[in-house]
A and B are shown apart, each in its own frame.
Chain A
Amino acid sequence: MRTHARPWWQRALLTREMLTILILVVAWIVAASVVQGFDGPLTITYLVLDVAPVLLIALPMTLIIGTGEIDLSVASVVGLSSVTFGLLYQAGLGLGVGLLVSVLLGAVCGAVNGALVAYGGLPSLAVTIGSLALYRGLAVGLLGTTAVTGFPESWTDGATENLGESPYPVITLGLLALIAVFAVLLHATPFGRNVLDIGRSREAARFSGVDVKRTLLILFVLSGAVSALAGVYYTLRYGSARGDNATGLELQVVAAVLLGGVSIFGGRGAIHGVVAGVLLIGVLGSALRLESVTVNVINIVIGAALVVSVVAPRIAGGLRVRRRNPAVGQGT
């Protein structure tokens, strides 16, 4: 029996992920030629700095959506982690301790979500909409409308400075490392197989010895911890710890993941596609901002892209079936 039904180049190129990468390249070229200042030297720098939180959170989100679940509380965890980090600094603790405690708290937030979803058997959509409000409420309650500022420059510069003379910020290295970790985790380990198998058929995964509950718990803990890490970054990047930091960021994260070719029903998705999806959203955002389009309109564009990325595969799939079998769709 043949190992593969299609030659290697078809398997590599004719994928949903390559489509996103293609759209990204086209968007970049269009933006560079149409938008004033888009091809300037600072574009790459600001693009990386701006998308970093979305990219970070999108990595565990890819795995969660891969199982058919979702975590909508991520932006609130960013806010809660930002506030915690700020308060600990205000209390005179070292920033290293603050970072550690914030990430641990994020992991606890994720564990609460995960326990309710995995062991409580509740739908993640409902659980994390609830915790979205809960964690955000805690964040705002802890700090009110004030902000903690005045973080030491050695730390805030670390979040924004470039690698030598290159346009790439130092954090690029960290991002690349995390991308690599998640890519290996999803695509080259038994754990990654568990994730996608759960998304494809939870029942069959269970009958193959997969501990579905434990896997889900781990993913939500991972999501909470990474979101908290993004929260610390967010705080340092803008030099301000606030309860309302990153409000609404979950929209961008989910949009990027789905644009990247991850199925909202679970079971399929790839890290390289998601990275392209994140960059695509980043490029759209910075091109529109350079054109002085308001945040409102940017959200409309991102929201529309999100809907299209969910609907398009459905339509494409439907057309394919219809071509093969004209009678389908006329009701049963």
Chain B
Amino acid sequence: MPNAAPTLRLEGVAKSFGPVAALRSGTLVVQPGSIHALVGENGAGKSTLVKIVGGVHRRDAGTVELDGEPVDFAGPAEAKTAGVAVIHQEPASFPDLTVTENIFLGREPLGSLRRIDRRAMRDGARKLFRDLGVDLDPDRPAEGLSIADQQIVEIAKAISLDARLLIMDEPTAALSAVEVRRLFGVARGLRDAGRAVVFISHRLDEVADLCDTVTVMRDGEHVSTDAVADVTSDELVRRMVGRAVSELYPKVPSTVGEVVLRVEGLESTGTFHDVSFDVRAGEIVGLAGLVGAGRSEIARAVFGVDHYSAGRVVVGGRTLRPGDPAAAIAAGVALVPEDRRLQGLVTESSVSRNVSSVVLRRRRGPRDEGGVRGEGREGPARRRLARLGILLPDAEARLARDWSGRLSVKAGALDAPATTMSGGNQQKVVLAKWLATDPKVLMVDEPTRGIDVGTKAEVHRLLSTLAAEGLAVLMISSELPEVLGMADRVLVVREGRIVSELTRAEATPEAVMRAATPGASAEQASGGAA
């Protein structure tokens, strides 16, 4: 193998979908034995570029070379054969097959009488996991594997196919800190074995930690390529957005008022235990912890989509009926859920329908006797969307236009389906749909996951401003800087229990990680947060 040629070389690659140019001039050179970061806002063309390399799309112009040989893949299968593997954020596996069967699916080693040689297969899987340095049972079914383990299975599969180029598309978005560390270990191992890795992430601290080289893309074009050591995160952000992001976590000072949400002894067998906390008007409370610690489950139970076995939730002095989201909504509770495509939005529906979806079906509640907020603000929430039970389309369009404008949602038209929008814009629609209800308590679960830096800053600014106006905000986030930057108080959840409450001043990354990591004593954890 000639060492002179880079593993992957793209130059001036362009791709348009109808009138929309998704990629104008994609340029990327990846050397063997290196980890190359590809960063850029959503819509910068990263995914399109990856899909061209992976054989999903065909380029309109430009050159793609693999080890110096020009290639033009007609489909993903060709790309795979040529040694390109794309590891998706949430890989699809066959849940009923074992881990081993998933790895060797379609190319099982055959023994005598052309029967599948199970032993050879299992030994192969064992060896792969040993080389990767991970501990995974090759005989367990793929069903119930964590996302992190599914990614490892995908990587093992890629290596067994002798992939020379592994592209990881936002692999860490749904991983806990421990899982991220393991994945990085695997990625470094691949690099040291001479393979080329492309790493796509929105988290610049990860890029700095893991990668050798970083390429920035913006608006479908190549902006820059540098050694990671030569550029600062601030400089990367500036290049990604093409403008200076004033401050990523603007904190607007606010007056903390009375308790709006009180959770007392909430209990759900096997999920969370004896959870008690309260959130006051004007306050942002962060719920920190590892993925799987039970943070989302607590928020879901408070909102009523999940049941709880004991305890109670009190909003504005009234106890909510358990397991009844409509009651929670009527009391002024809003939940921006973890998975915006599955839970936050009806993606097939239009922007307009999504924005109005909660307001128009909201049950009348004690809330309407006069809210804490909203009276002073000229809010569209109280505008009637139906008369005598019949919907008023004009009122609905006005509400949608109003809120889309306030949150500067970018969409082709109000009746365009949400599927056509970028992740950041979708998240703005979810926020709009809940803010339109004029809530008293806003719970946001991973509000900025997978959205671009510019929109992220907008969401942070919005949450700060809302809190300053008197909204009680409960924020769940796996991005520590986000929690620490935004929250007035941080509650740390570990294995279903609130184990620590930290003030803004006390909440350092070390303190939070120490509290969040199971079995970590004060001494051990200081290095663990890295």
Is the CB–CB distance between A5 and B415 below 8 Å? yes
A1-B405, A200-B346 known; A193-B57 Cβ under 8 A: no
**Any chain A CB within 8 A of the CB of B252?**
no
Give how many B residues have a beta carbon under 8 Å from the other chain's beta carbons.
51
**Any chain A CB within 8 A of the CB of B412?**
yes
A326-B335 Cα distance, complex, nearest whole Å: 40
A259-B104 Cα distance, complex, nearest whole Å: 43
Contact with A along B314-350 (1 / 0, CB 8 A): 0000000000011011000001010000111111110
Which of the segments A51-59, A206-214, A223-231, A301-309 contacts the partner chain? Answer: A206-214
A3-B413, A207-B337 known; A193-B357 Cβ under 8 A: yes
Q: How far is the CB of B235 from chain A (nearest CB, A)?
A: 34
List A61-117 residues whose CB lies under 8 Å from chain B.
none
A287-B35 Cα distance, complex, nearest whole Å: 70
A332-B390 Cα distance, complex, nearest whole Å: 46
A188-B390, A200-B348 known; A209-B404 Cβ under 8 A: no
Is the CB–CB distance between A3 and B75 below 8 Å? no
Is the CB–CB distance between B413 and A204 below 8 Å? no
Is the CB–CB distance between A327 and B349 below 8 Å? no
Give how many A residues have a beta carbon under 8 Å from the other chain's beta carbons.
34
List A194-211 residues whose CB lies under 8 Å from chain B.
194, 196-197, 200-201, 203-211
**Any chain B CB within 8 A of the CB of A154?**
no
A190-B329 Cα distance, complex, nearest whole Å: 16
A154-B347 Cα distance, complex, nearest whole Å: 53
Is the CB–CB distance between A193 and B353 below 8 Å? yes
Is the CB–CB distance between B55 and A327 below 8 Å? yes
> Of all chain A residues, which has the CB nearest B54?
A332
List A314-332 residues whose CB lies under 8 Å from chain B.
324-328, 330-332
**Which of chain B's residues have a CB closer than 8 A to the CB of A201?**
342, 345-348
Which of the segments B136-144, B358-366, B375-383 contacts the partner chain? Answer: B358-366
**Which of chain A's residues have a CB closer than 8 A to the CB of B361?**
190, 193-194, 208-210
Contact of B342 among A204, A209, A331 (CB under 8 A): A204
**Any chain A CB within 8 A of the CB of B389?**
yes
List B4-44 residues whose CB lies under 8 Å from chain A.
17-18
**Which of chain A's residues have a CB closer than 8 A to the CB of B348?**
200-201, 267-268
Is the CB–CB distance between A4 and B18 below 8 Å? no
A268-B32 Cα distance, complex, nearest whole Å: 50
Other than A5-B413, A324-B18, give 18 A-B pairs with Cβ distance below 8 A: A1-B414, A4-B413, A189-B390, A189-B391, A190-B386, A197-B346, A197-B357, A204-B344, A204-B346, A207-B337, A207-B343, A208-B358, A209-B328, A209-B358, A209-B362, A327-B74, A331-B76, A331-B77
List residues of chain A with CB under 8 Å of any chain B CB.
1-5, 184, 188-190, 193-194, 196-197, 200-201, 203-211, 267-268, 324-328, 330-332
List residues of chain B with CB under 8 Å of any chain A CB.
17-18, 55-58, 73-77, 303, 305, 325-326, 328-329, 335, 337, 342-349, 352-353, 357-358, 360-363, 386, 389-391, 397, 401, 404-405, 409, 411-416, 433
